[in-house]
Amino acid sequence: MDIENKPSEQETTHFGFQTVKEGEKAQKVANVFHSVAQRYDVMNDFMSVGLHRIWKVFTIGKSHVRPGMKVLDIAAGTGDLTLAFAKKVGKTGEVWHTDINESMLSVGRDRLIDKGFSLPSVVCDAEALPFPDNYFDIVTVAFGLRNMTHKDKALAEMYRVLKLGGKLLVLEFSHIYKPLAPAYDWYSFNILPWLGKKVAQDEESYRYLAESIRMHPDQETLAKMMQTVGFERVNYHNMTAGIVALHEGVKLK
C-alpha cells in the first residue's frame, strides 16, 4: 500500500508526550475530563492561585460583548465564560454552552441553572460544529484548543460560524518567557501532579495537563494558524509572563 493511501486512522498525533493514533486521542482526552470534572474548578484555583479568574475577566473585556449578541462558548466546561457572557448579552442575546465532554458539560449546566440561567448546553465537537454559517458575533474557547486533534479544522469551523465582523477569542496556556522556563517546568511536572493526586485524586490527568501545554503551539505559531484559516487583525496578549495567552482574530471576508 502506498504511504499516501494509508487509512487516516493510522495517522498519529500527540496525547501529552505520548504518540497515539488520531482515532484514539479523543477518547483519551475524554477520560481525563470525565475523571476531573467534579473537582475541576477547585483545581483551577489551586493551580493558578486564582489567576484564572483574572485571565477570564480580561477575555470578557476584550470581547466587547454587548446586549443582544450571539455568543458560542466552545469547550465551555464548568461555564465560567458562559455565565459571564450570559450576564452581558441580557434577555435579547443568545449564549451557547458547548463541550465535547458530557461530564464537564453536565457540571457546567447544573452550575448555570443554580445561578438562574437556563441556556442551551450542547455536546458537540469543535471540529464539526452543528451551527449555520455566519451565525455568531463572538466565539470563545478557553483552555480547550490544545486538547483538539485537528486544531486547524476547529479554527476553520469557528471562522465559518462567525458573522462578518465577528470575533474569535482563544484563551490558552502558552509558552512562558524563557528565563522563567526552568522554574515553570519544575512546578508543572512536580507540583501539578502532586496537587492532582491530593485534591482531585488523579495524578496522571494533571501530568497530562503539563505535557499538553508543552505540545501546544507557541504564540506566533497559533497566530499564523488563525491567519491561515482566514482570520484578520490577529494578535495576542501574554498574561502572567506568557503562562497564558489570549489570541484574538476577526472575520472580515
* Residue closest to 98 by CA, chosen among 68, 67, 53, 129: 129
Is 82 annotated as belonging to a binding site? no
Q: Are strands 162-173 and 232-239 parallel, antiparallel or unpaired?
A: unpaired
Asked if residue 132 lies in contact with residue 161, where contact means CB atoms within 8 angstroms, the answer is: yes
Those residues with Cβ within 8 angstroms of residue 215's Cβ, 6 or more apart along the chain or in another chain: 14, 16, 17, 146
Asked if residue 231 lies in contact with residue 159, where contact means CB atoms within 8 angstroms, the answer is: yes
Is 142 annotated as belonging to a binding site? no
Strand partners, 140: 73, 169
Is 99 annotated as belonging to a binding site? yes
Q: Are strands 136-142 and 162-173 parallel, antiparallel or unpaired?
A: parallel
Those residues with Cβ within 8 angstroms of residue 194's Cβ, 6 or more apart along the chain or in another chain: 203
**DSSP single-letter state for residue 175:** P
Those residues with Cβ within 8 angstroms of residue 92's Cβ, 6 or more apart along the chain or in another chain: 67, 68
Grid coordinates given for 231: 482570520
Is 78 annotated as belonging to a binding site? yes
Binding site as annotated, residues for S-adenosyl-L-methionine: 78, 99, 125-126
Binding site as annotated, residues: 78, 99, 125-126
